[in-house]
């Protein structure tokens, strides 16, 4: 049984296999009837403890496009308000007969706990500031489709991640995925928003965006997270924008083929100007579209072929050992 | 009359370790010499084992009164006996907190009734552990309390700490500090470092401990009070302790088995069984702690045995309470990860802790006329635990092999713990 | 369609892990003996020690070639003629190869149709990975490419596969087609038919009928993917030989 909990330590081949399948699902989603029966009869449960519209809807759409049924639990309306523990919630909904759980939780490591309690595959929809693996996969797919066509990785691509990296699970997942696929990653942030200790991280850090801008193929803009103390670690939004914001002026200084990305939701006028968000080089809408395809690939891989060992070849005639002769 | 003959062990006698038999009659060591005759005594074969004073833990949470669903005095002291202990100091952060004499007496009496180990209650430094006014220190002293701590919280108010030190210095009590600065530690769940950065989790910097210790040592210099640092976790604190001892200050320090065994790389699993305060630090800190224990800069091993019910610990890491249990594994861990000879081993586990607490009948080398509070310890015995004697199961030691097992524990001549495999 | 263009299309249809070299290489038939002759190959010896020396237990595989490259070429040519005969020409045809090896076979069939009739027949690929009935039961394989060269409505679709066996692959292909359009009719061309149908599905055009038992494996190799070309039947056998104690 496989889970998708983190991109840390994921082999390049595994990432590419998700992207390759996702390419096919992009085509499926473009059909007049964007639905295939592959996961018919399966039920996907989404357990979202943090507010989310886009990710939850994306998983929902992905499951339905594969003909799976979906069930959703959110803390506001559920038994969790009555004091039920997370463990009991997981065991209860599993007893109702579910085939996969997607969980988002503000506590780091919660999906690992869920995977320990549940006997079905678990997908991490985002835990604390730690990991958001499907976001990293869809970001990787978007870059690959833009720069590499339908094959391979992101070799040699120079990607800059800008913003509140310290509190960003998207950044942590992206760093592992992008570097595993061969890209060069630069982190751009004020000291208060860089992770405290990046020893051993496969990245370069920079203190100003303008210095690295001309060399980047992709600028990945992170949200300023007000709910994680964003403004309190920086003097003002205006000052943030002037030093780190993706402004129209900075867009002009990018290489002509370079692109801008954002995990959403965007705060126009702070980390990204409206003009940039609406520019054709901003791939946000591609990211969203690719997100459904990537999540289809994830659900398909985790739920298709769950029984059986992939290393065992099929159609092998039964081997029986016969030992005879003198003993 | 009850008599037990412990044969063939390496006995920690007054002059040092020697292979000998120990005859215990009516709770007192009657004779120590090679090849003693049994004369109807029950014989315990201790060949290959060390025989020494039973271990003494300066830092145990028995959770009674108020937290009995996690542990109570009976179950906690049973776990202690299983781990080779004959005496424990019970931390006062119960509900109600032990800040008055009658509560201390309650804890001691419950311990005596259970009969596994001698329980010495510790008392709060401040009333209700609120950190604003002193607790009833005299009353607690009369009730037998010798160690005073707000464990669970540090005493932040330097003025209050100074008054407590001056008061206890007169009585001869020990000021025991849980050294973690509340402001620097706020919101932190693990050590602030490379692993917390990777996990995106808020961390507690090493400085949070060192800053409190540095301040407190200045107050020790001023007042001359006996001062004991709980659960030392950083190399920086070790350096401060070494410096203070070199200056002749009356400072002692303890280290926990979990800080000797694990480091923050283990926390990367996000399993709450590795969550405690102070948190597991770097591998380098761990190396310094082990060396400090071997050399004696750190005086004793103390478990900070902190039981929590399964439903409390089986939650996401950040939501879990701090604490792991350790009474049953302390000796095994020390034996597995440190290089201690029998003399040093018993000094750290029994002799020095008993001296700090002022427990006259514990931590004494084996000799005729002394109360028989003993442990028989096999330093080479390999074992793996899958269950706990404690009511709680939050032990990071489960399922792993350790080298060093308790063959038998004896409290005043009565065997309190004889795990499977004891040879009779 | 020019040969090079056809090869370009074929390259784009082969799934990423098969992309390698889509050129038709000079065919190097592996020396597996002449047609009809059985060869024995040692596979996976297992040594079982006993008191009187060791038994060597070998799973042996008997490999029998049944089609060489010329046979394959002839079969495809005959199929091409049959398609044109039944369709009364080349109009309205679309060939869809089922990945993996059905795809280069479809490309070659399209080439032959153009050669014989002079009409360009569009070809593409139809992956059935999302429509199989045994997703729970077998290990996952990567999805193949589904690429339709033209809309299917009103056309005559010829599905092309290398081996027809239980019929479940074709059943999945029919379900996939239903989601992609409404062909006027669907026909099936298979290079080999090895029998043992589990569903009421029959081929319209067959290269060679191969009576097999269910413990046997039919191995097809095509030049564009495997370098070598041909069809073999693999049968298991078990023998033991005694070995001397050293």
Question: Which member of A8, A106, A200 has the closest CB to residue B194?
Answer: A200
3 state DSSP class of A308: coil
At residue A310, does pLDDT exceed 60? no
What domains lie within chain C, and their CATH numbers? 67-235 (3.40.50.2020)
Question: Which member of A107, A113, A198 has the closest CB to residue B197?
Answer: A198
pLDDT averaged over 10-residue windows placed end to end, chain B, 424 residues: 92 96 95 91 93 98 95 95 96 96 96 96 96 95 96 95 96 96 95 96 97 97 97 98 98 98 96 97 98 98 96 94 96 96 97 97 96 96 91 95 94 84 39
| B71 close to B391: Cβ distance less than 8 angstroms | yes
Q: Which residues, 6+ apart, have CB-to-CB distance to B286 below 8 Å?
A: B259, B260, B262, B263
Q: How far is A134 from chain C (nearest CA, A)?
A: 19
Mean of the pLDDT values across residues C195-220? 94
User: What pLDDT score was predicted for residue A233?
Assistant: 65
Active-site hit among B299, B304, B361, B378 = B304
Q: How far is B320 from chain A (nearest CA, A)?
A: 10
Given CB atoms, is C180 within the 8 Å cutoff of chain A? yes
Does residue B46 form part of some domain? Answer: no
Instruction: State how far the Cα of B235 lies from the Cα of B284, in Å rounded to an integer.
Output: 8
Q: How far is B196 from chain A (nearest CA, A)?
A: 8
User: What pLDDT score was predicted for residue A224?
Assistant: 80
Instruction: State how far the Cα of B240 lies from the Cα of B233, in Å rounded to an integer.
Output: 12
User: What pLDDT score was predicted for residue A309?
Assistant: 37
Pairwise CB contact (< 8 Å): A112 & B270: yes
Pairwise CB contact (< 8 Å): B270 & A113: yes
Token pair for residue C164?
């027809």
3 state DSSP class of C109: helix
> In terms of CA atoms, which chain C residue is nearest residue A13?
C17
Pairwise CB contact (< 8 Å): C179 & A36: yes
A chain contacts of residue B201, beta-carbon cutoff 8 Å:
108, 128-130
A chain contacts of residue B271, beta-carbon cutoff 8 Å:
109, 112
Residue A77: which pLDDT band, with cuts at 50, 70 and 90?
A: low
Neighbors of chain C with 3 or more C-beta pairs under 8 Å: A
Q: How far is A283 from chain C (nearest CA, A)?
A: 25
Does residue B423 form part of some domain? Answer: no
C chain contacts of residue A296, beta-carbon cutoff 8 Å:
none
Residue C240: which pLDDT band, with cuts at 50, 70 and 90?
A: low
Pairwise CB contact (< 8 Å): A35 & C137: no
Given CB atoms, is A319 within the 8 Å cutoff of chain C? yes
B chain contacts of residue A130, beta-carbon cutoff 8 Å:
199-201
Beta sheet of B147-149, edge-to-edge order: B147-149, B174-177, B226-229, B251-255, B300-301
Residue pairs spanning A and C at CB distance below 8 A:
91
Q: DSSP character for B305?
A: B
Q: How far is A33 from chain B (nearest CA, A)?
A: 41
At residue A174, does pLDDT exceed 70? yes
Question: Which member of A28, A66, A308 has the closest CB to residue C139?
Answer: A308
| B81 close to B417: Cβ distance less than 8 angstroms | yes
Q: How far is C115 from chain A (nearest CA, A)?
A: 32
Q: How many residues does chain C have?
A: 246
Does residue B111 form part of some domain? Answer: yes
Instruction: State how far the Cα of B233 lies from the Cα of B260, in Å rounded to an integer.
Output: 9
* DSSP element (H, E) containing B355: helix B352-357
User: What pLDDT score was predicted for residue C241?
Assistant: 58
Pairwise CB contact (< 8 Å): A37 & C240: no
Question: Which member of B194, B311, B319 has the closest CB to residue A107?
Answer: B319
Question: Which member of A113, A169, A196 has the closest CB to residue B315?
Answer: A113
User: What pLDDT score was predicted for residue A308?
Assistant: 38
Q: What is the dihedral of CA C229, C231, C236, C239, to 10 degrees?
A: -60
Q: DSSP character for A246?
A: B
Residue pairs spanning A and B at CB distance below 8 A:
70
Does residue B58 form part of some domain? Answer: yes
Instruction: State how far the Cα of B195 lies from the Cα of B203, in Å rounded to an integer.
Output: 9
Token pair for residue A159?
């990607």
User: What pLDDT score was predicted for residue A317?
Assistant: 28
Measured over the CA atoms of residue B219, residue B221, residue B222 and residue B228, the dihedral's sign is positive
Pairwise CB contact (< 8 Å): A195 & B199: no
Instruction: State how far the Cα of B322 lies from the Cα of B308, in Å rounded to an integer.
Output: 9
From the CB of residue B179, how many other CB atoms can be counted at a distance below 10 Å? 26
Return left, alpha or beta for B413; rule: phi > 0 is left, psi -120 to 50 is alpha, else beta.
Answer: left
Tell me the percentage of chain C whose pLDDT exceeds 90. 63
Does residue B416 form part of some domain? Answer: no
Question: Is B304 noted as a catalytic residue in this protein?
Answer: yes
Given CB atoms, is C11 within the 8 Å cutoff of chain A? no
Q: Which residues, 6+ apart, have CB-to-CB distance to A116 below 8 Å?
A: none
Does residue B35 form part of some domain? Answer: no
pLDDT digits (tens, 9 = 90+) for A105-140: 999 999 999 999 999 999 999 999 999 999 999 999
> Which range (A75-84, A264-273, B305-314) has the least confidence?
A75-84
What is the separation of C-alpha A215 from the centre of its chain, rounded to a whole number of angstroms? 25
Question: Which member of C59, C143, C180 has the closest CB to residue A31?
Answer: C180
Does residue B252 form part of some domain? Answer: yes
Which residues on chain A place their C-beta less than 8 Å from a C-beta of chain B? Answer: 8, 85-87, 105-110, 112-113, 128-130, 166-169, 172, 195-200
Of B185, B101, B94, the C-alpha closest to B141 is B101
Question: Which member of A20, A304, A320 has the closest CB to residue C135?
Answer: A304
From the CB of residue C235, how many other CB atoms can be counted at a distance below 10 Å? 16
Does residue B369 form part of some domain? Answer: no
At residue C44, does pLDDT exceed 60? no
pTM: 0.85
Residue C238: which pLDDT band, with cuts at 50, 70 and 90?
A: low
Token pair for residue C4?
């090079």
Mean of the pLDDT values across residues C157-162? 98
Helix ranges restricted to H, chain C: 3-13, 69-87, 102-117, 168-180, 223-226
3 state DSSP class of C234: strand
C chain contacts of residue A27, beta-carbon cutoff 8 Å:
146
Instruction: State how far the Cα of B336 lies from the Cα of B258, in Å rounded to an integer.
Output: 12
- Please report how many Cα atoms fall inside a 13 Å half-sphere around the Cα of residue A209, on the Cβ side: 26
Mean of the pLDDT values across residues A191-199? 91
pLDDT digits (tens, 9 = 90+) for A150-164: 578 899 999 999 999
From the CB of residue B370, how many other CB atoms can be counted at a distance below 10 Å? 17
What domains lie within chain A, and their CATH numbers? 12-132+287-303 (3.40.50.1370), 133-283 (3.40.50.1370)
Range of the domain at B307: 54-357
CATH of the domain at B314: 3.20.20.140
Touching, B vs A (3+ Cβ pairs under 8 A): yes
Average pLDDT over chain C, rounded to an integer: 82
Give the count of domains, chain B: 1
Residue to test with chain C: of A24, A298, A322, most C Cβ within 10 A: A24
Beta sheet of A218-221, edge-to-edge order: A203-206, A184-188, A158-162, A218-221, A259-261
């Amino acid at each position: 049984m496989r889970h998708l909990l983190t991109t840390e330590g994921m082999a390049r081949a595994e990432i590419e296999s998700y992207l390759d399948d996702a390419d096919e699902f992009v085509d499926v989603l473009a059909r007049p009837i964007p639905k295939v029966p592959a996961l018919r009869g399966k039920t996907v449960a989404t357990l979202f403890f943090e507010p989310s519209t886009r990710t939850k809807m994306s998983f929902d759409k992905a499951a339905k496009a594969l003909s799976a049924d979906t069930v959703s639990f959110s803390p506001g309306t559920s038994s969790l308000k009555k004091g039920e523990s997370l463990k009991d919630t997981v065991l209860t909904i599993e007893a109702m007969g579910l085939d996969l759980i997607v969980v988002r939780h503000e506590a780091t490591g919660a999906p690992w706990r869920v995977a320990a309690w549940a006997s079905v595959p678990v997908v991490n929809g985002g835990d604390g500031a730690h990991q958001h693996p499907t976001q990293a996969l869809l970001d990787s797919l978007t870059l690959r489709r833009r720069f590499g066509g339908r094959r391979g990785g992101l070799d040699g691509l120079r990607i800059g991640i800008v913003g509140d990296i310290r509190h960003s699970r998207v950044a942590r997942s992206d760093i592992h995925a992008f570097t595993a696929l061969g890209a060069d990653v630069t982190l751009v942030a004020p000291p208060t928003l860089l992770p405290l200790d990046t020893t051993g991280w496969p990245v370069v850090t920079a203190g100003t965006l303008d210095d690295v801008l001309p060399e980047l193929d992709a600028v990945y803009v992170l949200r300023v997270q007000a709910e994680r103390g964003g403004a309190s670690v920086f003097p003002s939004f205006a000052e943030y924008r002037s030093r780190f914001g993706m402004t129209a002026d900075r867009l002009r200084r990018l290489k002509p083929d370079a692109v801008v990305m954002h995990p959403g939701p965007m705060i126009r006028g702070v980390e990204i100007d409206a003009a940039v968000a609406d520019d054709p080089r901003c791939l946000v809408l591609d990211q969203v579209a690719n997100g459904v395809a990537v999540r289809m690939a994830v659900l398909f891989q985790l739920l298709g072929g769950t029984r059986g060992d992939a290393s065992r070849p099929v159609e092998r005639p039964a081997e029986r050992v016969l030992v005879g002769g003198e003993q | 009359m009850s008599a037990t003959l412990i044969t063939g062990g390496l006995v920690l006698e007054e002059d040092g370790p020697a292979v000998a038999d120990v005859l215990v009659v009516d709770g007192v060591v009657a004779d120590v010499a090679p090849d003693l005759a049994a004369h109807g005594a029950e014989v315990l074969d201790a060949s290959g084992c060390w025989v020494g004073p039973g271990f003494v833990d300066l830092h145990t949470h028995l959770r009674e009164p108020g937290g009995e669903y996690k542990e109570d005095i009976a179950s906690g002291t049973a776990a202690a006996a299983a781990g080779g202990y004959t005496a424990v100091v019970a931390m006062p952060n119960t509900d109600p907190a032990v800040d008055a004499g009658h509560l201390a007496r309650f804890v001691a009496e419950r311990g005596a009734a259970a009969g596994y180990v001698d329980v010495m209650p510790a008392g709060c430094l401040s009333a209700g552990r609120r950190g604003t006014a002193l607790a009833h220190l005299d009353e607690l002293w009369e009730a037998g309390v010798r160690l005073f701590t707000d464990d669970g919280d540090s005493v932040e108010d330097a003025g209050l700490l100074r008054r407590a030190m001056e008061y206890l210095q007169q009585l001869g009590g020990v000021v025991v500090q849980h050294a973690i600065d509340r402001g620097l530690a706020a919101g932190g769940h693990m050590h602030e470092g490379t692993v917390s950065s990777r996990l995106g989790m808020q961390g507690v910097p090493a400085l949070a401990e060192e800053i409190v210790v540095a301040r407190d040592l200045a107050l020790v210099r001023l007042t001359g009070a006996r001062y004991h640092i709980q659960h030392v976790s950083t190399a920086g604190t070790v350096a401060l302790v070494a410096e203070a001892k070199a200056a002749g200050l009356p400072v002692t320090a303890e280290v926990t088995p979990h800080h000797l065994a694990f480091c923050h790389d283990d926390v990367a699993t996000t399993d709450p069984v590795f969550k405690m305060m102070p948190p597991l630090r770097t591998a380098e800190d761990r190396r310094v702690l082990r060396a400090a224990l071997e050399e004696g800069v750190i005086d004793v091993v103390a478990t900070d045995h902190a039981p929590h019910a399964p439903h409390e610990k089986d939650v996401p890491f950040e939501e879990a309470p701090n604490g792991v249990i350790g009474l049953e594994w302390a000796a095994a861990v020390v034996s597995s990860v440190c290089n201690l000879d029998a003399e040093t081993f018993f000094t750290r586990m029994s002799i020095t802790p008993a001296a700090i607490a002022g427990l006259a009948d514990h931590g004494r080398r084996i000799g005729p006329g002394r109360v028989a509070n003993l442990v028989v310890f096999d330093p080479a015995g390999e074992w793996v635990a899958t269950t706990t004697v404690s009511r709680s199961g939050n032990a990071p030691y489960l399922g792993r092999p350790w080298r060093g097992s308790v063959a038998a524990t004896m409290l005043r001549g009565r065997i309190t713990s004889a795990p499977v495999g004891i040879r009779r | 369609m020019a040969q090079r263009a056809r090869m370009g299309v074929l390259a784009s249809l082969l799934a990423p892990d098969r992309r390698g070299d889509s050129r038709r290489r000079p065919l190097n038939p592996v020396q597996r003996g002449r047609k009809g002759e059985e060869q024995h190959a040692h596979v996976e010896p297992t040594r079982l020690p006993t008191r009187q020396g060791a038994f060597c237990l070998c799973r042996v595989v008997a490999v029998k070639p049944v089609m060489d490259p010329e046979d394959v070429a002839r079969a495809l040519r005959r199929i091409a003629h049959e398609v044109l005969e039944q369709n009364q020409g080349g109009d309205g045809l679309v060939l869809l190869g089922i990945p993996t090896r059905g795809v280069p076979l479809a490309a070659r069939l399209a080439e032959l149709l153009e050669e014989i009739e002079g009409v360009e027949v569009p070809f593409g690929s139809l992956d059935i990975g999302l429509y199989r009935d045994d997703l729970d039961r077998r290990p996952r394989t990567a999805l193949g490419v589904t690429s339709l060269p033209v809309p299917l409505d009103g056309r005559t679709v010829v599905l092309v596969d290398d081996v027809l066996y239980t019929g479940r692959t074709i059943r999945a292909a029919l379900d996939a087609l239903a989601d992609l359009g409404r062909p006027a009719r669907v026909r099936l061309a298979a290079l080999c038919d090895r029998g043992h149908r589990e569903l009421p599905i029959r081929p319209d055009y067959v290269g060679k009928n191969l009576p097999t038992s269910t413990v046997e494996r039919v191995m097809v190799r095509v030049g564009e993917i495997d370098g070598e070309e041909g069809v073999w039947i693999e049968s298991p056998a078990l023998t033991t030989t005694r070995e001397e104690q050293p």
